[in-house]
Amino acid sequence: MSAMPEIFRQFTRFTGVGLMSAIGHYGLFGLLTHAFGIAAVPASSAGALLGAWINYTLNYRFTFRSNKRHSDSVSKFAVVATVGLVLNTFFMWIGVDLLHLNKWLAQILTTGLCLIWSFGANRYWTFRVQQPK
């Protein structure tokens, strides 16, 4: 099997897992902003943390079919998720506070930008299993 179909399969699964993560992220974001009146940026950060947990759980087995020990992959995933959280918070701040975009539009744009970072970092670092030489 060539590398490109494998990447496409993984990206498709990663996007599906991302959709599940986004449901958790956006659900918590909406709950916190609408039901509890929490500001958009911290509510988005809390949603991103929930989304990261969903993302790790599903990507470990479903997307990348990793056989790495969780102790190896969780620490790398935590680094990737932390960078993702920083990027999410930064892009939301730009969208909501600087550009005065609608919070949902800003969140959708932010999600797209963070998707690119997250897929690459998780594919090539977090869940990558070294092939025997």
Question: What is each CA distance from 88 to 2, 55, 74, in whole angstroms?
Answer: 33, 15, 20
Question: Does the predicted TM-score (pTM) go above 0.75?
Answer: no
Query: pLDDT tens for residues 28-83?
Result: 999 999 999 999 989 988 998 898 889 899 999 899 888 888 888 999 999 998 99
118 falls within a domain: yes
Which DSSP letter does residue 38 get? -
107 falls within a domain: yes
Range of the domain at 26: 3-126
Residue 56 and residue 82 in contact, taking contact as beta carbons nearer than 8 Å: no
Q: How many domains is the chain built from?
A: 1
133 falls within a domain: no
132 falls within a domain: no
45 falls within a domain: yes
Query: pLDDT tens for residues 17-34?
Result: 989 998 999 999 999 999
131 falls within a domain: no
70 falls within a domain: yes
